[in-house]
Amino acid sequence: MSVLAANRAAALAALADPVRRAVYDIVARAQDAVGRDAAAAAAGVPRSTAAFHLDRLVEVGLLTVEYRRLSGRSGPGAGRPAKLYRTVSGELLGSVPERHYELAADILAAGAERADRDDVSVAAAAASEAHSRGREIAAAAGTLDAALDACGYTPATDEHGTVVMQNCPFHALTARHSELVCAVNLALVEGLLTGVGDPRSACPVPRDGACCVEIRAAGTRALGEPPTQTETPSP
């Protein structure tokens, strides 16, 4: 699991506690930063309990902390600044196994726009967008392993050097729109390879419960794939 996925998983797990979720909702609904006393009163729990849950939500990245004197006064006698909490801006998108539906949506939307602009099919335009996005991700990641990890593929290399993707980041979409999404998936991996200058090929190999793409060197067959007419089977 990537670092990003691990962080999201920790955040999602933190919200599974009902008291912690209630404390989070109190802060999320507030128009200003919330202190420990206010959170405890709103949740109906002791201040120490509220403080524990608030700090745990900070640890997993769901809340941020600021310090401010609630009285508005400053100088001697104004008291110590209070520790206040507010939600981190942005969305919590995550699942275990890791999915990247936001990436798929972005690629498909950009592909639809390109199809209208260039008068090509949506499938061709989406694949082109996926390839471009793959090159960008790979360039930013620096290595193929890092790029595959960033996309949520969970790659594993078998004894033949074939990279098998243990996880499909677009899993739910492939069940409903397999032809389009699997083509986008293949183009994305091809873009990752291009982005890091890897000479291997991305090959469509549908598998139940896993990604439909493998990365193979030239002449390498998928597990169970029969030899071609020009190849001689091993005795």
Q: What is the pLDDT of residue 1?
A: 42
Positions of the chain with pLDDT under 70: 1-10, 12, 71-79, 89-99, 209, 219-235
Tens-place pLDDT, residues 121-154: 999 999 999 999 999 999 998 999 989 988 888 8
Q: What is the pLDDT of residue 16?
A: 78
For residue 94, count CB atoms less than 10 angstroms from its CB and return exposed for 0-12, middle for 13-18, buried for 19 or more.
middle
Q: What is the pLDDT of residue 94?
A: 54
Tell whether 53 is covered by a domain.
Answer: yes
Asked if 66 and 105 sit in the same domain, the reply is: no
Per the structure, the complete domain to which residue 29 belongs is given by 3-87
Q: Which whole-number Å values give the CA distances from 71 to 9, 51, 68, 79, 185, in the listed order?
A: 38, 20, 9, 9, 55
Q: What is the pLDDT of residue 230?
A: 44
Tell whether 158 is covered by a domain.
Answer: yes
Q: What is the pLDDT of residue 89?
A: 62
Counting the structural domains of the chain, the total is: 2
Tell whether 14 is covered by a domain.
Answer: yes
Q: What is the pLDDT of residue 51?
A: 95
The residue from 43, 58, 87 where one domain ends is 87
